[in-house]
Amino acid sequence: MAMINTHITPGKLVATGSIVPELHYGPYLRDWWVFSKEKSLYPIPLRLGLEIMLQLNKNSFIIRVVHHIHSPLQPGYICEGGGYNSGIVESASKAITVIPLYNHTLRDH
C-alpha cells in the first residue's frame, strides 16, 4: 500500500465562537465538549461559531461549528475551501473529506 505524503499545518483560530448555556450545559452537553489527550484530562468546549483555518499541502480550509441540521441541540460542522462547501455534517473529519479539494489535494501529492 502506497503512503500518501501530506502536510497539515497547525490550525489557526479565526473566530472563537460562543458558549451557549442551553447547549453546553443542557441535555446534549456531552456533544459540545471534548477532552484533551494529555496526561491530565480537561474539557474543551466546542463553541458555537468556532472557526479554525487549516492548511493541507498549501490548500486552506476553514472548519466551522454550527447547529446540526437534524438536531439543533447538537453540533454540526461545515468545511469551506477552494470555493467548495461541505454543507452541515456530523463531524469535522467528514466535513473535510466531503469537499472535492481535499480529495484532489491527497491524490495529487
Could you write out the three-class secondary structure of 14-72?
EECCECCHHHHCCCCHHHCEEECCCCCCCEEECCECCEEEEEECCEEEEEEEEECCCCC
Neighbours of 25 (CB within 10 A): 12
Closest CA to 105 of 1, 34, 2, 8: 8
Show the cell assigned to 90: 456530523
pLDDT digits (tens, 9 = 90+) for 69-90: 899 999 999 999 888 899 999 9
pLDDT digits (tens, 9 = 90+) for 8-31: 567 899 999 999 999 999 999 999
Show the cell assigned to 37: 489527550
Q: Which helix (H) or strand (E) holds 78?
A: strand 75-81
> How many residues does the structure list for the chain?
109
pTM of the full structure: 0.81
CB–CB of 46/19 below 8 Å? Answer: no
pLDDT at 103: 57
